[in-house]
Structure 1
Amino acid sequence: MSAFPERTTREEVELGSTLQPKFGPDGLIPCITQDHATGEVLMFAFMNAESLQLTLDSGKATYWSRSRSKLWMKGEESGNVQLVREVRTDCDQDVILIKVEQSGPANASCHNGYKSCFYRKLVDPKANDYVLETTTEPLFDPKQVYKK
């Protein structure tokens, strides 16, 4: 049972002033995380009702890991915590956007050591070779940080 209000009319969901998130059949809602100061997209993850509520209550980004089937607060292992500065939703409230301030030793959001999980780009989108280019340098060594 979600602590969030039940979804009401389409008009209220799309134009009203009450958060009525639409969780999918799996209980999850997509979440885009963006740097509050620069607007850079840092990562994409999922939240369930519990992780969204924990995020709102604690002010620290908390997500649902589909691969591990558990909650995880960003930075619980690396120390690179995301402090929530703003929470938004799209027009039909089926996506969450959080704007965060990175805080921690490397100020990185990616488990591979990069500031953003979007550290690669397709070199030539019209070519059929699908070559990716890394566009930035890592900020930390994940082998040292995660000891795995």
Structure 2
Amino acid sequence: MSDRLAVGLVGAGPWAGMAHAPALAAGAGTRLAGVWARRPEAAEELGGRFGAPGFARLEELFDACEAVAFCVPPDVQAELALRAVRAGKAVLLEKPLAMDLDGARRLADAVAEAGVVSQMVLTARYAAATRTFLTRAQQVRPRSGRS
């Protein structure tokens, strides 16, 4: 048994391949447990690049992991995340959480009811261009530009 957190990845698009999968596979405290995508062949291809299986069924991914990271379009993220939360998995979500306030509330309620950990990330916050913008915004108006 590994002491690294087994994280499944939902989504196999370009951003998942450039950022999410490499980070999960190389993380000191994580390992990429598998990938699921609407197109099973895309999940297999991406997972294979990082020594992880691709899954045809979302529930198979849930069985293989402790937490799930999402890299999917916002119009499907909330419903897929609800399935993970109901399966008892911690979730790492991209912004926006959902397409509307009701969807975000349903997800937040499900997380509270399941007692799992959830986190939303804004990876662009760490991009060089974003940091430069925020630094300059602070110079122009010292109380603005916080992230």
The answer to whether the superposition gives a TM-score over 0.5 is no
TM-score, scaled relative to structure 2: 0.23
More helix by share: 2
More strand by share: 1
